[in-house]
Amino acid sequence: PWSEWQKVPARSYAQTTLVDAAGGIVLRALDELGLSEDTLVIWSTDHGDAVACHGGHFDKRSYMPEEMVRVPWAMRFPGRIPPGQVSQTLVSNIDLAPTILDAAGLAFEEQIDGRSLLSLAGGGTDDWRHDLMCETHGHGEDHMGRLVVTERYKYVANKDQTDELYDLENDPYELENLVSKERLSGVLDDMRKRLAAWQRATYDPQME
C-alpha cells in the first residue's frame, strides 16, 4: 500500500537533505579559512538510487535506468569556471581524477579514458566525446548489462534478457522500449556498433 511506499521517497529526500547540509558545512569551513577563492569544489556521487522506479526497484539493483546512471555533478572553481553554467555534455566519473590533477597543474603520464572537465568551462564542447559506456555485473542477483548512451539515444544490452533502446529526448523516463521498432533499426545498429567497439577495446574474459 501507498502508506508503505511513501516511506521510500520520504527517507530518500531526508538523506539528500542531510548530505546537502553536510556540503554546506564544508563550504562554510572554506569561507572561514579563507580558502574559497583558491579551492576546486566537486559535488557528485557514484551511482543513483532507484527509489522504487520502473516497477518497484530499490538501491541500484541490476538494471540501468537514468535514475541509476545519471548522477549529479557540480563544480565551483573561482577564476577558472564561470558561475551559473548548466551543461548537458556527456561526462563520467572517469573524468574525476584528471579534473583534480588539472586543477593542480598536473596530468597522468599514461593515456587514460577520462578527461579534465575544466576544458568545458566556458562552453568548450566542440572536441568532446559523443557517447558514453557503462556496465553492471548485478547487485543482489547475477546479471550482465552494458549500455551506450549518446545525447539522444540509450541502448542497453542485457545478457540472456531483452535488450533496450530509448529515445531520451522524447521519453526521458524510459517508459517505451523501442528496440523492436523497425523505424529505428539504423539507430539500433549504430548503437550496437558503438558498444561492440568499446567491448573490443576493454574485453576481459574474467568479467563475463
Residue 207 pLDDT greater than 50, yes or no = no
Helices and strands (DSSP H and E) totals, the chain: 6, 6
Determine whether 12 is exposed, middle or buried from the number of CB atoms within 10 Å of its CB (0-12, 13-18, 19+): middle
Q: Look up residue 47 and give its three cell numbers.
A: 551511482
Q: What is the pLDDT of residues 26-80, one digit of tens each?
A: 999 999 999 999 999 999 988 877 777 887 777 777 788 998 888 889 999 998 9
Contact in structure between 68 and 60 (CB atoms under 8 Å): yes
pLDDT value, residue 202: 63
Determine whether 190 is exposed, middle or buried from the number of CB atoms within 10 Å of its CB (0-12, 13-18, 19+): middle
Q: What is the pLDDT of residues 120-179, one digit of tens each?
A: 886 777 789 999 999 988 887 888 999 999 999 999 999 999 999 999 999 999 999 999
